[in-house]
Amino acid sequence: MSHLGVFRTSALAGALALATPILADIDGAYDHPDIERVAGSHIVYFDRTEFDRLTVPTGPYSGDEFESSEMMEGEVLKLSYLFENPDISTLQIKRNYMDALEAQGFEILYADSEGALGSGAGRSFYNASDLFSRGARDCCRLATRSSNRDLRYIAARSADGSVLAGIAAFNERRDPGPAVEIAVVTSAEMGTEMDHQPLTAGEMETGLIEEGRVAVQDILFEFDSARILPESSDALATVAQLMGDAPDIALLVVGHTDNAGSYDYNLNLSMARAQAVVDYLTGQHDVAASRLQAAGAGMMAPIATNRTDEGRALNRRVELVEMQR
C-alpha cells in the first residue's frame, strides 16, 4: 500500500509522514493506481462501476450551475477516507494531493476552498455536484458549522487525458477530524460484446405470454438520470413493433435499479425512467397512451446479486409486464 509523500515544506512532511494505517480499509477496497492516499487515512466507502459517465466540476457553483465541468466515460471509482489524526488540516491534505498529482504529470484543472467554491462555505458546491456518491455521504458528511467545514476541492486530469478526478477534503460532521472523498474515471470504451442478443418483438411477446413479463436490457439511460441514451432507439423501436403486432396488448413499463443509494432515491429514479420510456413510445412511435402505464420498483426486485458489477448491471433494467385492458 502506497501513500502520498510529496511535500513543499518540512512542516507538512512532519504532519503527514508516511505511516502504516492503524485502522484497516473495508473489505475489497483499494486506491486508484494513479492517485495515492495521504498517510494515516483508511477507506470507509468504496464503489467501482465497470463503465459509467462521470462529470467533474472545474469551476465554482453560481447557485444555478457550475461555471465549467469536464465529462469522461470509463471505469469509475468512488472512495471515502477518514483520518486517524484529528489534527491534520484539510489544507495540508489538499496541498499534499496537489503536489503528488503534479509530480505524476497531472494537470490541475481547478482548485479552490470554502466560500470561493460556492455559498455556505462550499456546501452549495458539494451538494449540487453528483460527483460524490450518496453512499459515501452516508459515512462522511460535511461539518454542520460553516466556520468549521474547511472544504477544499481539486479537479485534475492525467497528462495523457485518460484519468479525470475530483477530490474533496473537509472536516467530517461526526468524527473529530477530516475526511476525503474521491471520484475518478479512467477512460475506456464500453465493450460491444454482450452476453445476450437484443430481443425481437416475437421474443418479447413470447416472454409476456409464458411469464407475464420480459426484461429489456438494451434500454439505457444517462448516469443518475432518466434521460434515455440514443443507443436505446433500436430496443424501443422493437417494443413499438410489439405493440403494433399485438394490438390487444397493454403494458406496465417498470423501471428497476441496483441497490446503490437510498430506497427513496432509487424508487423515484426508477419511476422517472419508466415514465421516460412511456413518453418516448407515445411521442416517437405513436403508441396509444392508454396502452402503457409507468411504474417504478427501485431496488426491490433484483434478478442478480448486487455485490458484483455484472449483477448490478443486470438489475438496472426496464421490464414490460402484461396488463389487462
Query: What is the pLDDT at residue 1?
Result: 45
151 closest CA partner among 126, 174, 130, 175 = 126
217 closest CA partner among 138, 82, 99, 312 = 312
Q: Does some domain include residue 215?
A: yes
Query: What is the pLDDT at residue 306?
Result: 82
Which parts of the chain are beta strand (E)? 3-4, 37-38, 41-57, 69-83, 107-113, 152-157, 163-171, 178-187, 213-216, 250-256, 292-298, 317-323
Candidate from 7-16, 148-157, 279-288 with smallest mean pLDDT? 7-16
Domain that holds residue 31: 3-187
Rounded to whole angstroms, the Cα distance separating 219 from 223 reads 13
In a shared domain, residues 108 and 180: yes
β-sheet bridge partners, residue 178 = 171
pTM for this structure?
A: 0.55
Query: What is the pLDDT at residue 238?
Result: 94
Give the end of a domain, one of 187, 212, 231: 187
Give the end of a domain, one of 165, 187, 209: 187
In a shared domain, residues 214 and 94: no
Query: What is the pLDDT at residue 129?
Result: 85
Asked if pLDDT for residue 7 goes beyond 60, the answer is: no
Asked if pLDDT for residue 316 goes beyond 80, the answer is: yes
Query: What is the pLDDT at residue 2?
Result: 47
Banded pLDDT at 309 (limits 50, 70, 90): confident
In a shared domain, residues 274 and 160: no
Give the end of a domain, one of 152, 187, 222: 187
Asked if pLDDT for residue 284 goes beyond 80, the answer is: yes
Q: Does some domain include residue 195?
A: no
Asked if pLDDT for residue 176 goes beyond 90, the answer is: no
Q: Does some domain include residue 165?
A: yes
Containing 177, the helix (H) or strand (E) segment is none
